[in-house]
Structure 1
Amino acid sequence: MSLKHAILILLESEPGSGYDLLKRFKDGLGYFWNAKHQQVYLELKKLSEAGWLEFEAQAQDARPDKKNYRMTPAGHSELLRWLGEPVQPSKINDALLVKLYAGAHTSQDNLREEMQRHVAVHRKTLASLLQIEKDFQALPDAQRNALRLPYLTLRRGILGEQSWLVWAAEVEQELNRD
């Protein structure tokens, strides 16, 4: 997947500015697809130049004009084309796993501290995802039904965090064995 397709997906449902898209990333896709501020704005420019997006400039006091982007028919066609293609399973690049793999070359205390930092992050993420799930469950049936596929991405995130924490407990047990 590429950032351009993530942006097209976000604009498919509702037009918005670069700022709006960054907020939508954070609130939704950001749990499984990361994009930095500069990347989003650069990609918006490229998508506009490719004819997949158009924008309307909105004047602002003491700031540059705000650009509200919307998808063009060509952008919609590209999104449909991409959605019809198979995607490759993701591979991970995880520095923590490399560090753990090389654990014989550092102290157990160093590894324990590193794991504790990561555990804290994963617990916080899991708590956040569980709150989103609770909010989702409280929605009326019609809204829950409309969001059933995005909900499955939430479930994947929850299960992934829970699994990571179970694995971390195994690592902690092994590190404490010596």
Structure 2
Amino acid sequence: MPHDLSVGRFLFSASLLRDPLTATLGVISGIGTIGGSILQAGAARDQAEAAARAQEMEAAALEREAAEKQAAAQRQAITEGRKTDLVLSRTQALAAASGGGATDPTVLDIMGDAAGQGAYNSAAAIYEGAAQARGLEERAELSRFRARESRRAAGPAAAAAILSGITGMADKGLSLRRFR
């Protein structure tokens, strides 16, 4: 190859050196390819970060919803307790008004059943709220996992974009040499 010139790691064809426009355009093309790859790498990182932020926001919203479900369940349990108290009070009042005593075995049996049902209703409301909250918290954790994975994958995606640009530039160089 007597007509080629080696400068550092780059091999320049003598014909390229004789035609400054071709050489200049080749350099500009290479710089553009690398520059585009760097921009693409930055965009990949930005996109991953935006996705991660969105997933973290979703996780925070799910956790707020979980807390709201638990609070609503507690309010429902309190309401069930109040309903039970009203039923027991009414049962006592009806028993007293009917001439029977509030300590009559039948009345006590009815009141026991009502109190048991009230306790069950309160516990069921708490359980339902806790189950819904657990499901939302699991979804929030999954969303946070996705956010971490988006950030983790940003580095390799950026590196791949840069490598793609470098190999694209090398391919252009090889194809230029083939046509001389």
TM-score (norm 2): 0.28
Q: Which structure has the higher relative contact order (CA within 8 Å, separation 6+)? A: 2
Judging by fraction of residues, say which structure has more strand. 1
Judging by fraction of residues, say which structure has more helix. 2
